[in-house]
Amino acid sequence: MPLSDREKRLLEEMEAALLTEDPRLVSALSSKGPVSPSRNRIVVGAGLILLGLVTLFGGLISQVTPIGILGFVIALGGVITGISSISPMVRGARKPSSRTNLSARLEQRWDNRSNEE
């Protein structure tokens, strides 16, 4: 069953409102595939964590403080690298408040549409 002219107009208004309310969501939905973390960055992060821990324990065993500190810095760099490759997926799910306003308006339009007919 095709849409009527009025329904097409309402759909276009909703799309325009969505574009102005949350352009990142529109760009994410229009992209070809889901956003996935870079596998190479995760592997590099894990490798840096292991290297940092080995260096840290080597510094502790040899009782050379600068080597232990260097191991900690390397491990911290690995954690930051791993988290930064995963964080783009998490950022998209943070702002439900702007969508709530849009959802409320769309619900109200739907209710008005139902009452008019």
Domain count for the chain: 1
In this predicted structure, the answer to whether residue 35 has a pLDDT above a threshold of 50 is no
Quick one: average pLDDT of 36-59?
Answer: 87
Spatial neighbors of 62 by CB under 8 A, at least 6 apart, are: none
Both tokens of residue 4?
């009527």
Q: Residue 77 carries which side chain, given as an amino acid letter? A: G
pLDDT given for residue 11 in this prediction: 83
In a domain, 102, yes or no: no
pLDDT digits (tens, 9 = 90+) for 61-103: 999 999 999 999 999 999 998 888 776 555 555 555 555 677 7
Which residue has 């964590």 as its token pair?
49
Spatial neighbors of 70 by CB under 8 A, at least 6 apart, are: 55, 59
Higher pLDDT among residues 41 and 37, named by residue: 41
Alpha-carbon separation of residue 110 from 96, 107, 113 (angstroms): 20, 5, 5
Quick one: average pLDDT of 35-57?
Answer: 85
In this predicted structure, the answer to whether residue 50 has a pLDDT above a threshold of 60 is yes
How far apart CA 24 and CA 28 sit, in angstroms, is 6
In a domain, 108, yes or no: no
In a domain, 101, yes or no: no
In this predicted structure, the answer to whether residue 115 has a pLDDT above a threshold of 80 is no
CA 92, 98, 101 angle in degrees (round to 5)? 145
In a domain, 43, yes or no: yes
In a domain, 78, yes or no: yes
Both tokens of residue 82?
């791993």
In a domain, 69, yes or no: yes
Domain coverage including residue 61: 38-85
Question: From the centroid of its chain, how far is CA 1?
Answer: 37
In a domain, 90, yes or no: no
pLDDT given for residue 71 in this prediction: 94
The model scores a pTM over 0.85: no
